[in-house]
Structure 1
Amino acid sequence: MQFCCHRAWRAGTGCLRGGPALGSDREKAMKRYAFVLALVLVSGWLAAAHGGVDAGWQPLMDRLAADGLDRAWVEKVFAGAGVDYEPSIMARKVDAMVRKQFEPRPAPTKKTLEASNYRQFLTPASIEAGVRYIRENRGAFDRAQREFGPPPELICAFLMVETKLGTYLGDQDALSVLASLARASGLGQIAPYMKTLRGDAERSAYADWAAKDRSEWGFRELAALLRYAKAKGQGPGAIPGSIYGAIGICQFMPSNALRFGVDGDNDGVLDLFTPADAIVSVASYLRGHGWVPGMTGEQRDKVVYAYNHSELYVLAVTTVADRLKARLGG
């Protein structure tokens, strides 16, 4: 689940457009790149000199301790997990936000959906896999609907689109991703990696705001990931995630795992990498974002949008759900 809170930003007045007065964009970009590369090399040297912990993580570890996490444990996590700083992660996130803000796209249609990567979930084979998954996990789906309301086909559609029913859980280290987002707190740290600035002052101002905003968001999610891992009894560095740190079969951001996660199989542990916990947790999330019995299609779409702020995503999930329902004979 990804959230781009671009609506909160407002461009200031008097923003200037056009290129810089001195030097070419390419020359400035190369200088910025060299500067960032130097910082990375220096931070690596400092890490070796401080017992394997990159000294650049120190302010972040201070904040995590101030947030209530045990400092000794936090330091152990960062020392043992080999947390890597990748400013390109924030750059990719901010690039997406800049495109959404300055390059809006028309509302998607069925034709758009069938031409997108989501079309893989609309094939007969994918729908059959979803039907089997519902039947194999009938108890969890029944509990989810009984306690929270959403029907099996809708919950299953989320799990299909998010992780192919748990067969693809992301190839990123969630800890490094969220730590990198928390650390990259301004345009100066990510500009060499960005593709959407175009020498435009308004875009740059927005990107700087976006980086600061997403850095705060990244910190909250990092703290939540650490708490989730500690409660689960798992090393945070061993948790796989998406490109922005979502985890589990249901791809929850860690804060949502803490808020909406449900121990669906009653084993005493919240583990979003198990089907029962993921299934019931999705239902809990949807109920928490407005799901009620008898809602209209438009109301349903708003609840789905809360899961991922993309109209194409909403169209994909609801279309898959409708096909699952038809195949189940509903």
Structure 2
Amino acid sequence: MLRLIRASLLALALPLPVLSLPALAAPCGNTSSGFEAWKSAFAAEAQRAGVGQRGLQALAGVRYSNGTIAADRRQTGVRYSLPDFMRIRGVDAIVRIGRQKKAANPQFYASLERIYGVPSGILLAIHGMESGFGSTFGKYHVLSSNATVAYDCRRSDFFSGHLIAALKLVDRGWLDPGAIGAAHGEIGHTQFLAGNVLEYGRDGDGDGRVNLYGLSDAMASTANFLRQKGWRPGQPYAEGTRNFRVLNDWNAATVYQQAIAIAAARIDG
């Protein structure tokens, strides 16, 4: 019921880039034929960018993801009205489940709002929208997916930096080399790209690492992302407000922002 609609709505799962790295010299391509040669060249670039042995070993094991390319080519943008979008994405169910989760762990969500100033409804609405509250992280090998779009000439400028970041996450022990995620390498409960994990990730459970497959870290990281993008604690977030505009930094689709604000108000209401 809450699974992501990957054909026409896949772009919604992609937070805006936060990692800016110089264009890499590894030659891009539009078919799988040059992928292995690109991977060797990229490994040298990754090493110069500070990726260590564990990350380089993980890179050596990635494979060209035909599923990722197929999903990327199918993207057509968002063409739904707000009511249709909310129906397709199951907003009523997100609200119902979000209320249940808030009621089951009120101190956890209250602590996040106290630290970061982001209401529980916003965090729960994003959690429900992105992964069905952790019920579906995706079906793609994260590093292979990220490497495939970093190699692809259409997407290399955007994704090369995120691949470097993903390999650094492997170095730190924050990302398992075999981790599964969404089609473009999105990670965990709220579908962060790797560069966003490095920039905004927070250790919510105090174990010394940032693991977006753990709920505490994912929620703390999401709250921190919004706060760092300009979220104002205690201020409204309905359409037209400053906080609503911050949602654009999470996802650029207007209907997504509207659905999050509406669902959040209902969860917190």
Give the TM interval when normalised to the shorter protein. Answer: 0.7 to 0.9
- Residue number among 93, 99, 103 corresponding to 1:131 in the alignment: 99
Residue 259 of structure 2 corresponds to which residue in structure 1? 316
Deviation, 1:246, is 0.9
Residue 57 of structure 1 corresponds to which residue in structure 2? 39
Deviation, 1:231, is 1.6
* Counterparts of 1:307 and 1:296, CA distance in 2: 14
* Counterparts of 2:182 and 2:189, CA distance in 1: 11
Equivalent residues of 1:150, 1:286 under 8 A apart: yes
- Residue number among 167, 188, 210 corresponding to 1:248 in the alignment: 188
Q: TM-score normalised to the size of structure 1?
A: 0.66
Deviation, 1:173, is 0.7
Q: Secondary structure at the match of 2:14?
A: coil
1:61-210 → structure 2 map (5 Å cutoff): 61-70=43-52, 72-79=53-60, 81=61, 83-86=62-65, 89-90=68-69, 92-93=71-72, 96=75, 99=76, 109-115=81-87, 117-118=88-89, 120-123=90-93, 126-185=94-153
Structure with bigger helix share is 1
Aligned pairs, number: 242
Residue 301 of structure 1 corresponds to which residue in structure 2? 244
Identical-pair percentage: 23
- The higher radius of gyration belongs to 1
Aligned-residue Cα RMSD (Å) equals: 2.6
Unmatched segments (≥5 aa) in structure 2: 1-12, 18-29
Distance verdict in 2 for CA 1:296–1:69, change over 3 Å: closer
Unmatched segments (≥5 aa) in structure 1: 6-34, 44-53, 186-210
Deviation, 1:75, is 4.0
1:231 matches 2:199: no
Q: What's the CA shift string for 1:228-277, capped at 9, x where partnerless? A: 222226532x2111111110111111111111111111121211111111
Q: TM-score normalised to the size of structure 2?
A: 0.79
Residue 22 of structure 2 corresponds to which residue in structure 1? none
1:325 matches 2:263: no
AA matched with 1:150: V
Distance verdict in 2 for CA 1:112–1:183, change over 3 Å: same
Q: What's the CA shift string for 1:87-108, capped at 9, x where partnerless? A: 6735753663xx55xxx95xx6
Kindly report structure 1 stretches of 4+ aligned residues shifted beyond 3 Å: 72-75, 86-96
* Counterparts of 2:189 and 2:181, CA distance in 1: 10
Deviation, 1:60, is 1.2
* Counterparts of 1:233 and 1:314, CA distance in 2: 29
Equivalent residues of 2:138, 2:183 under 8 A apart: yes
Distance verdict in 2 for CA 1:233–1:310, change over 3 Å: closer
Equivalent residues of 2:14, 2:191 under 8 A apart: no
Q: What's the CA shift string for 1:100-143, capped at 9, x where partnerless? A: 5xxx95xx64433345x21x2313xx433212222333333122
Deviation, 1:166, is 0.8
